[in-house]
């Protein structure tokens, strides 16, 4: 993994759309079924919109019915970091980009085999690239 990326709040605001900033830097979320990548079925790699790090492979994407792009695992180990999130009065596991610490979404233990995990990721935190 390349060196960590650190930017000021102003630098992030200038680099991202208001929606991307709200989600990635302020730990927001988009409404379900309103995003760009939930229905994308094309092969490729999903990258962090903030730093371009490869995060999730399209071959690991599945239709969870949640309204957000869902993956069974990151493309490689150590691409994302997990943190305990007790906001909104519940206990969840937040997923952030290892390289730039962008908020991506959450991971839940209700996904399909072989991992049993569902990485529920905001489309605004991602950019898709053809393989």
Neighbours of 68 (CB within 10 A): 23
∠ CA 106-112-114, nearest 5°, is 105
Q: Is 48 exposed, middle or buried (0-12, 13-18, 19+ CB in 10 A)?
A: buried
Domains of the chain and any CATH numbers: 9-129 (2.170.150.20)
Task: Report pLDDT digits (tens) over 57-68.
Answer: 999 999 998 989
pTM: 0.92
Give yes or no: 51 in active site. no
Task: Report pLDDT digits (tens) over 69-94.
Answer: 999 999 998 999 999 887 767 788 99
């Amino acid at each position: 993994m390349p060196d960590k990326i650190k930017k000021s709040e102003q630098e992030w605001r200038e680099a991202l759309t208001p929606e991307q900033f709200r989600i990635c830097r302020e730990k927001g979320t988009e409404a379900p079924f309103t995003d760009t990548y939930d229905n994308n079925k094309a092969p490729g790699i999903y990258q962090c919109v903030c730093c371009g790090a490869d995060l999730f492979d399209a071959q690991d994407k599945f239709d969870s019915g949640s309204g957000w792009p869902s993956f069974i695992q990151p493309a490689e180990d150590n691409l994302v970091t997990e943190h305990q999130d007790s906001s909104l009065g519940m206990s969840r596991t937040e997923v952030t980009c290892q390289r730039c610490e962008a908020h991506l979404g959450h991971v839940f233990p209700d996904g399909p085999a072989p991992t049993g995990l569902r990485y529920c990721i905001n489309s605004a935190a991602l950019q898709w690239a053809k393989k």
